[in-house]
Amino acid sequence: MTNDKMDKIISLAKRRGFVFPGSEIYGGLSNSYDYGPLGVELKNNISQLWWKRFVQDRNDMVGIDAALIMNPKVWEASGHLKEFSDPLVECKKCHNRFRADQILEGPSGVNFGEPTSRPVGYTLELKNKSPYEKCPDCGGELTNPKQFNLMLQTFLGPAEEKANEVYFRPEIAQSMFVNFKQVLDTTRRRLPFGIASQGKAFRNEITPGNFIFRTREFNLMEFEYFIEEKEWKKTFEYWQNEMREWLKDLGVNLKKVHEVEIPDGERAHYSKRTVDFEYEYPFGQKELYGLAYRTDFDLKNHEKFSGQNLKYRDPETGEEISPHVIEPTFGLDRSVLVTLLEAYHEDPSSAKASDGKRVILKLPLRLAPYKAAVFPLLANKPELVEKAKEIYDDLRKHFTVAWDDRGNIGKRYYSQDEIGTPFCITVDFDTLEKGDVTVRDRDTAKQERIQIKELREYIHGKIFG
């Protein structure tokens, strides 16, 4: 894999409406991105599949959706105000700023020293003298690293004063901890059980980059799984395996995923064990997801700072305990990125100097933005257009469906292949006589005739099994 592939993905994403550079008409905003019409479908399909798999299909999980801005005391209790920082160095000549651990990367993109992860609260062991003496941009001398807090601050209310200072949440986990008691009281859950949530998180990253891999505003999906302390090892392994299974849903080749044990001293302040799921991106092997054993650190601290009892009372024995927590965490934007990277295929037999190789986005069928596309064979034959519209309108009640009546059929196929549409349905003159259509399969390019009345079942069966 090379960065060439990354360029192709970024270009395809922009050209076809998956991901646009943010605020582009004003020259953009450093490393911000917007999901376009196809991107939002793909992103939503991933988050909905995640919600179904980890929340709705299980009887030991419930969901919440919490505010982005929380009482600042939350971040005191969680340790973020004190611990959530990265080492910052500045060039004394050009004044560009860098994350000290990241500029250890060599010129070939080989990572010589970046820690395998930089989870919440990770603090690099700083040496007295910075080993990174040269600025990667101008060769100037660098300052010694100093810790830079990543929390994104704002003010609530009209006055910009200390009392109104708040933070956009840097992780969503804390909303599960502060709502723990209310969820327990309203759902009467028994251990073990989990609380899941999805939503935005914000980090004032020193060096965002690599497209949607690292941005300052991003989407997270995670859950806190509450257990008795003695259960932690086996629960950790259980979720590690479930995370692998989830990656298969995204079409990810597990050979490109490396589960990395994070050593003592490099884990987040709350974690007693962390395994990072790293993926071989075109720009290097880096974190995709994380799995942490957070112990009872968070609930205990929130008890201390809020003065509230956040214990779990065993309904049979009446004993009160502080549950321990296993936390699987999944970046949604990184999920979109790996899904695109894994799905991207070029047809080698299609090489043409003028328009490049034919691209097929082999997305898992249920993640595809459009499940099918409907074409009238000829756009200037009203009877074909009318019949095709009828089929299009009917299928749209059940699936996301595209319509295309421009150019020749071959070009329409290529256009749908490039955005990952699994089935193209063509209405021709035989359709009017025999009531059937041609259905062409994205991955095999095979075509078969299917009766219109069986179309819905056919597509549903192929996609949802």
Name the residues that contact ligand GAP, by CB under 6 A.
119-120, 171, 173, 203, 205, 214-215, 218, 220, 222, 287-290, 327, 329, 331, 333-334
Minimum distance from CB of 337 to ligand GAP (Å)?
Answer: 9
Taking the least distance from each CB to ligand GAP, the nearer of 170 and 422 is 170
Taking the least distance from each CB to ligand GAP, the nearer of 123 and 415 is 123
Element (H, E) at 37: helix 37-51
Taking the least distance from each CB to ligand GAP, the nearer of 259 and 418 is 259
User: Rounded CA gap, 218 and 204, in Å?
Assistant: 11
Compute CA 77 distance to the chain's CA centroid, rounded to the nearest angstrom: 27
Amino acid occupying residue 25: I
Cis (ω within 30 of 0) for the bond into 192?
yes
Minimum distance from CB of 84 to ligand GAP (Å)?
Answer: 9
Minimum distance from CB of 259 to ligand GAP (Å)?
Answer: 13
Nearest CA among 50, 58, 78 for reference residue 199: 50
Taking the least distance from each CB to ligand GAP, the nearer of 135 and 291 is 291
**Proportion of the chain in helix, strand, coil states, percent, rounded to 5:** 35, 30, 35
With a CB cutoff of 8 Å and minimum separation 6, the contacts of 463 are 365, 366, 371, 399, 422
Taking the least distance from each CB to ligand GAP, the nearer of 281 and 392 is 281
Strand, helix or coil at 229? helix
Residues listed for the chain = 465
Taking the least distance from each CB to ligand GAP, the nearer of 327 and 428 is 327
How far is the CA of 15 from the CAs of 19, 39, 415, in angstroms? 9, 11, 11
Minimum distance from CB of 170 to ligand GAP (Å)?
Answer: 7
Pairing of strands 372-376, 423-427: parallel
With a CB cutoff of 8 Å and minimum separation 6, the contacts of 159 are none
Minimum distance from CB of 420 to ligand GAP (Å)?
Answer: 22
Minimum distance from CB of 236 to ligand GAP (Å)?
Answer: 15
User: Rounded CA gap, 348 and 114, in Å?
Assistant: 36
Minimum distance from CB of 287 to ligand GAP (Å)?
Answer: 5
Taking the least distance from each CB to ligand GAP, the nearer of 83 and 231 is 83
Of all residues in the shown chain, the one whose CB is closest to ligand GAP is 331
Taking the least distance from each CB to ligand GAP, the nearer of 260 and 463 is 260
Beta partners for residue 331, in sequence order = 220
Beta partners for residue 278, in sequence order = 258, 287
Helices (H) and strands (E) in the chain, counts: 13, 23
Taking the least distance from each CB to ligand GAP, the nearer of 341 and 401 is 341
Nearest CA among 66, 56, 79, 58 for reference residue 294: 79
Minimum distance from CB of 188 to ligand GAP (Å)?
Answer: 26
Minimum distance from CB of 203 to ligand GAP (Å)?
Answer: 5
Minimum distance from CB of 197 to ligand GAP (Å)?
Answer: 10
* CB of 298 closer than 8 Å to CB of 173: yes
Minimum distance from CB of 250 to ligand GAP (Å)?
Answer: 13
Taking the least distance from each CB to ligand GAP, the nearer of 54 and 375 is 54
Taking the least distance from each CB to ligand GAP, the nearer of 119 and 420 is 119
User: Rounded CA gap, 437 and 118, in Å?
Assistant: 53
Q: How many CB atoms lie within 10 A of CB 354?
A: 4
How far is the CA of 49 from the CAs of 23, 176, 332, 333, in angstroms? 29, 20, 12, 14
